[in-house]
Amino acid sequence: MNATTEFTPDTPQHVAIIMDGNGRWATRRGLPRLAGHRKGVESVRDLVKAAPGLGITYLTIFAFSTENWKRAEAEVTGLMNLLRRYITKESAKLMSNNVRVRFIGGRERLDEDLQRLMLGLEERTEANDGLQLTVALNYGGRAELARAAGRVAQDVAVGKLRAEDVTEDRFAGYLDTAGLPDPDLVIRTSGENRISNFLLWQAAYSEYVFVDTCWPDFTPDDLAACLDRFRQRERRFGAVVG
């Protein structure tokens, strides 16, 4: 399948990906787990480049969860260093490709230098109107909902908002993803069939595709195949069609 195949109107505009299987990919090859993460970064680079040609406007990737802190300290440190290098090395390319980058998730636990790099990339790419890339870092869906509820409570306490005016649409404006459309399609790699606390609110009506391929081997052609599977489904959003 050619990853640049012309897309149709039913192509998902927002695709979110749980990038799973880096460690297993490396272990199967007798390599350290960080080798899988390094190879996974190459997959991110390839998909960011290919996404606009596939008709994707919004791409959200799950880079590091709130639960990933439980991993070995060396692996966590290596992941954070990989992210630093990605931001530093890819910044110019992201700008030239008109990609806007946002980060979602709690930042308070991240090193200050990493926070500065993240903020700098967000500010530099803010005016870009090409692919809208969202990176979920130190992100958990439950933690996000708790943060949003806290913001709502604060606004109610100071009189900026009445409790009876908290609708679903208004609440969504307090989430980390405020201003972004909900994902049409969520993909998880590596053969696991669970959502792992990812975009719990936003993916309420998303279509899911689970693939056996580990993330380092996931290519733009694999992404195109997932889009084809999406096109074969009928999305009813709770209604009865026909």
- Residue whose tokens read 């406007």: 57
Does residue 8 lie within any of the structural domains?
A: no
State the alpha helices, DSSP H only, in the chain: 22-28, 33-50, 73-96, 112-125, 141-157, 168-172, 220-231
Whether residue 173 is contained in a domain is answered as: no
Least confident segment among 5-14, 36-45, 140-149, 151-160: 5-14
Mean pLDDT of the region 173-197? 97
Let me know if residue 174 belongs to a domain.
no
Residue 18 included in any domain: yes
Q: Answer whether residue 190 is part of any domain.
A: yes
User: Which residues are known binding-site members?
Assistant: 20-25, 33, 37, 65-67, 69, 71, 188, 194-196, 207
The answer, yes or no, to whether residue 191 has pLDDT greater than 80, is yes
Show the tokens assigned to 52: 């606009």
Q: Give the predicted TM-score (pTM) of the model.
A: 0.92
> What is the per-residue pLDDT across 51-110, written as a single tens digit (0 to 9) for each?
999 999 999 999 999 999 999 999 999 999 999 999 999 999 999 999 999 999 999 999
**Has residue 1 got a pLDDT over 50?**
no
Q: Is residue 124 part of a domain?
A: yes
Q: In the predicted model, what is the mean pLDDT of the chain?
A: 94
Q: Say how many Å lie between the first and final Cα of the chain, rounded.
A: 32
Instruction: State the catalytic residues.
Output: 20, 68
Note the pLDDT tens digit of each residue in 17-34: 999 999 999 999 999 999
Q: Is residue 166 part of a domain?
A: no
State pLDDT tens for residues 126-161.
Answer: 999 999 999 999 999 999 999 999 999 999 999 999
Split into its structural domains, the chain has a count of 1
Binding-site positions for Mg(2+): 20, 207
**Chain centroid, CA 89 distance in Å:** 20
Residue range(s) defining the domain that contains residue 75: 14-139+182-231
Q: How far apart are CA 206 and CA 42, in angstroms?
A: 26
Which CATH number fits the domain that encloses residue 18?
A: 3.40.1180.10
Residue 79 lies in a domain: yes
CA dihedral 156, 158, 159, 165 (to 10 degrees): -10
